[in-house]
Amino acid sequence: MQKNTGLKRLILAGVYASAGIRAAARHEAAFRQEAIVACVLVPLAFWVPVGALERVALVGVVVLVLVAELVNSAIEAVVDRIGPEFHELSGRAKDMGSGAVLVCLLFAAYVWAELVVIEAMRTLFTAD
């Protein structure tokens, strides 16, 4: 079998990656929910008055949640493909994937709270 190289490989990689994102959007409710939240938070990150590095952090943690959800969904799909019977390692793999998503969600919530919510409260309640 001949391997694809160069531009063709890059194009095919993009095709396969977009197919994976579409599959997650079609079959994974959690990914759809997080994508909707991302559609709100990413533009909001460009609206709030923060510096460039803070904006990168705000957008970055949202993207990190989506990446973690894609990896979690991939793990779940592979485990489910192996078979429907319960196996301790299969359960552990799925739980670890979910745990990764939770850690990313908590980190995203912290970053947004620290950079946006707390700063907004400080601005509202600070006398000029």
Q: Kindly state the average pLDDT of the residues 115-128.
A: 80
Q: Which residues of 44-71 are buried (b: 16+ CB within 10 A; e: fewer)?
A: ebeeeebeeebbebbbebbebbbebbbe
Based on the residue annotation, tell me whether 69 is a catalytic residue of this protein. Answer: yes
CA distance 94 to 32: 19
| 34-38, 43-47, 89-93, 100-104, range with the lowest pLDDT | 89-93
Assign 29 a pLDDT band (cuts: 50, 70, 90).
very high
| CA 99 and chain centroid, separation | 13
pTM above 0.85, yes or no: yes
Residue 84 main-chain phi, psi, to 5 deg: -80, -15
Q: Which residue has the tokens 């309640």?
A: 125
Q: Map out the domains of the chain with their CATH numbers.
A: 28-125 (1.10.287.3610)
Condensed to tens digits (0 to 9), the pLDDT of residues 69-84 reads: 999 999 999 998 887 8
Selecting among 28, 34, 54, 69, the annotated active-site residue is 69
